């Protein structure tokens, strides 16, 4: 029982970071109907921004955090402008967006390998390693902070989408971009804001990921799992992305704890295929209308 | 550059070409995108190796059946085809992005399963695959693959596939069994990928799950797009250019993949039809291209004449 609780806590903490990444995939999907595979590269660069903010610039922790998330927000919008905007203007099919995203992801990964180098880097220790004892549970300080910061960011995001005018515009664009543009919404700006939001959260997730594990150019491959979480919850749905991520995080840690850590990565893909077979629109996804 | 080096690049290009041709049918002619064909390559490579590797003599080495190469090729292709039938049964009804995501999941799951199956060496890989792939075998398989595909595309089945690509609903109303043609395209492409995997394994003499990652699948799809959707000659050109290009750029070392990524984006935004989108380098294809150009020129002339006469009146 105790072990189970411990696993659940660890799963929640990693799941919340997945959620930060997954909402990035979901936001873009809701507006533009394609899976933005360049998001993994953005997260990776977030981890590097944070790392260099802490080590090279010797920034305090909070400042490094902001540097990373603002940096990735700018990067994400830049990618949108360069790699997707021309396609958007031409109304290209979604496949071109995916290929362009793949190109951007290859580009980012290899720019980092070429300039910073392929080595693994470890974040300086910011939070004390010894865990906080809570009854019989041992909760890592980093895990705790990860969970609360992620939850806070996600709550802010959902409030932003629900309550503000810009959020309403995003919702409307997700429903029908063309009609939205006809009603006088600057959909081009909406797309930029969506990428900036996704990028901002990606930066935070990247820093956490780097702190929990290490920083290396292929970190983007791990982010594939947060993409799976987004599919699991239902692509295009924000609450879905959060629920899917938390579930995936918990399932992963349970599998690693009770079966074998080797199956940890495999289970994500098994879930992915299972979800696609049983319910391709995921937990919260609306049934995709058949566009004839 | 010495001969063996050039020969090596040509063989890699030829092997890639087989997998690319399969994807050309699936993506270029039927309109389905896959990010998991490296999984089919992996199945082909491992089953092929299982057929040809001599039986184990020492403890610790992984033995096979020791059959001739042709059995390896056939079994590898067939295994990939059978798996693709199962995958198709459960995923071909998915719409749009979701089929693509499902293939991604399949490809990565295949790699991770192979990583964990110790019988085939797990993540460490399987050394000692006999070096049966030669320039001749690769060339012969390439020729067969191109001829088969060219005939398939020209047949009734090929036209039905193109109909599915252009307008699925309309094709269905016109009586095309959409699911069946998607399935045929998927199975053919998987068999091609499987055969490519067998040849790849018997060229490298060493196979490892890592070789068949999502990057490989993406690379194959990028070659198809680069060559141009719906063009067999485009795929051939694409496979040759894009396999040779990273080798030629080797002087730039680590920067070459940066160029590669940038090139993919530039192609997508500037020439989405690829090198040869919808065109063929065959006598009939060239005639068609020239006729189209003539028609375009005539149209332009007419417009110019009209504008001139409009200015006078």
Domains contained in chain A, CATH given: 2-122+136-278 (1.10.3470.10)
Kindly report the nearest CA distance between residue B255 and chain A, in angstroms.
6
Q: Show the tokens assigned to B120.
A: 């085939």
Question: Which ranges of B92-155 would DSSP assign to H, the alpha helix?
Answer: 97-116, 135-154
Is the CB of residue B96 less than 8 Å away from at least one CB of chain A?
yes
Contacts of A35 in chain B (CB under 8 A): 97, 100-101
pTM reported for the whole predicted model: 0.83
- Between A258 and B278, the higher pLDDT residue: A258
CA distances from B18 to A224, B10, B25, B157, B196 (A): 28, 13, 11, 20, 6
Sequence-distant (6+) residues with CB within 8 A of A73 are A195, A196, A197, A199, A200, A203
- Between A207 and B259, the higher pLDDT residue: A207
Cα separation, B161 vs B177, in Å, equals: 10
What tens-digit pLDDT sequence spans chain A (292 residues)? 778 888 888 888 889 989 999 998 888 888 888 888 899 999 999 999 999 998 888 888 889 889 999 999 999 999 999 999 998 888 887 778 888 898 898 899 889 988 888 888 888 877 777 777 777 777 888 888 888 999 999 999 999 998 999 998 988 888 888 888 888 888 889 999 999 999 999 999 999 988 888 888 888 767 788 888 888 888 888 888 899 999 999 998 888 888 877 777 788 888 888 888 887 777 776 654 433 3
Contacts of B263 in chain A (CB under 8 A): 103
Is the CB of residue B245 less than 8 Å away from at least one CB of chain A?
no
Q: Does B30 score more than 70 pLDDT?
A: yes
For B41, phi then psi, to 5°, come to -60, -45
CA distances from B42 to B86, B107, B115, B207 (A): 16, 9, 11, 9
For A218, phi then psi, to 5°, come to -90, 15
Confidence at residue A289, expressed as pLDDT on a 0 to 100 scale: 45
Put residue B31 in one of left, alpha, beta given phi > 0 → left and psi -120 to 50 → alpha.
left
Contact A256, A2 (CB under 8 A): no
Confidence at residue A239, expressed as pLDDT on a 0 to 100 scale: 87
Confidence at residue B120, expressed as pLDDT on a 0 to 100 scale: 83
| A/B interface, count of CB pairs below 8 Å | 121
* Greatest mean pLDDT among B87-101, B127-141, B246-260: B127-141
Of B33, B113, B261, the CB nearest to A110: B261
Kindly report the nearest CA distance between residue B190 and chain A, in angstroms.
18
Confidence at residue B60, expressed as pLDDT on a 0 to 100 scale: 62
Kindly report the nearest CA distance between residue A106 and chain B, in angstroms.
5
CATH of domain B3-275: 1.10.3470
What is the dihedral sign for C-alpha A30, A32, A34, A40?
A: negative
Confidence at residue A278, expressed as pLDDT on a 0 to 100 scale: 81
Contact A193, A170 (CB under 8 A): yes
Is the CB of residue B109 less than 8 Å away from at least one CB of chain A?
yes
Residue among A252, A282, A227, A211 at smallest CA distance from A61: A211
Torsion angle defined by CA atoms of residues B112, B116, B119 and B125, in that order, rounded to the nearest 10 degrees: 60
> Is B254 within 8 Å of A277 when comparing Cβ atoms?
no
């Amino acid at each position: 029982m105790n072990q189970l609780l411990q696993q659940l806590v660890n799963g929640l903490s990693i799941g919340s970071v997945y959620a930060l990444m997954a909402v990035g995939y979901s936001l873009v999907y809701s507006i533009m109907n394609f899976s933005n595979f360049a998001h993994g590269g953005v997260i990776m660069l977030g981890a590097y921004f944070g790392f260099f903010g802490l080590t090279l610039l010797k920034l305090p922790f909070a400042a490094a955090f902001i540097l990373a998330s603002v940096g990735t927000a700018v990067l994400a919008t830049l990618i949108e402008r360069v790699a997707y905007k021309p396609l958007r203007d031409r109304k290209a099919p979604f496949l071109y967006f995916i290929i362009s995203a793949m190109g951007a992801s290859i580009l980012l990964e290899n720019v980092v390998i070429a300039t910073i180098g392929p080595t693994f880097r470890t974040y300086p220790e910011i939070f004390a390693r010894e865990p906080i004892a809570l009854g019989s549970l041992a909760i890592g300080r980093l895990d705790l902070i990860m969970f609360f910061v992620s939850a806070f960011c996600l709550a802010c995001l959902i409030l932003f989408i629900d309550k503000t005018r810009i959020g309403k515009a995003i919702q409307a664009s997700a429903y029908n971009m063309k009609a939205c543009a006809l009603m006088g919404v600057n959909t081009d700006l909406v797309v930029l804001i969506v990428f900036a939001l996704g990028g901002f959260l990606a930066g935070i997730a990247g820093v956490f990921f780097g702190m929990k594990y290490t920083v290396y150019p292929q970190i983007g491959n791990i982010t594939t799992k947060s993409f799976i979480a987004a599919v699991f919850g239902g692509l295009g749905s924000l609450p879905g992305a959060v629920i899917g991520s938390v579930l995936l995080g918990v399932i992963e840690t349970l599998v690693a704890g009770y079966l074998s850590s080797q199956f940890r990565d495999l289970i994500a893909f098994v879930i992915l295929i299972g979800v696609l077979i049983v319910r391709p629109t995921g937990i919260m996804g609306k049934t995709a209308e058949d566009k004839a | 550059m010495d001969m063996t080096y050039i020969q090596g690049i040509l063989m890699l290009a030829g092997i890639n070409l087989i997998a690319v041709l399969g994807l050309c049918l699936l993506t270029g002619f039927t309109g389905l995108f896959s990010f998991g064909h490296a999984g089919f390559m992996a199945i082909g490579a491992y089953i092929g190796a299982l057929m040809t590797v001599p039986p184990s003599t020492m403890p610790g080495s992984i033995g096979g059946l020791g059959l001739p190469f042709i059995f390896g090729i056939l079994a590898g292709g067939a295994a990939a085809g059978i798996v693709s039938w199962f995958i198709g049964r459960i995923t071909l009804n998915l719409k749009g992005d979701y089929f693509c995501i499902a293939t991604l999941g399949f490809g990565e799951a295949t790699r991770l399963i192979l990583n964990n199956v110790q019988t085939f060496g797990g993540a460490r890989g399987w050394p000692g695959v006999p070096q049966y792939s030669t320039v001749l075998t690769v060339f012969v398989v390439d020729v067969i693959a191109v001829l088969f595909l060219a005939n398939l595309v020209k047949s009734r089945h090929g036209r039905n596939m193109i109909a599915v690509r252009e307008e699925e609903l309309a094709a269905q109303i016109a009586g095309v069994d959409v699911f069946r043609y998607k399935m045929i395209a998927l199975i053919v492409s998987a068999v091609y990928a499987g055969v490519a995997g067998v040849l790849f394994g018997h060229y490298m003499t060493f196979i490892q799950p890592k070789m068949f990652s999502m990057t490989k699948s993406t690379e194959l799809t990028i070659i198809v797009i680069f060559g141009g959707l719906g063009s067999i000659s485009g795929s051939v050109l694409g496979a040759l250019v894009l396999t040779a290009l990273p080798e030629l750029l080797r002087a730039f070392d680590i920067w070459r993949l940066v160029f590669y990524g940038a090139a993919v984006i530039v192609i997508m935004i500037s020439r989405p039809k690829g090198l040869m989108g919808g065109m063929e380098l065959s006598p009939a294809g060239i005639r068609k291209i020239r006729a189209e150009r003539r028609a375009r020129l005539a149209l332009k002339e007419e417009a110019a004449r009209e504008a001139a006469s409009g200015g006078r009146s």
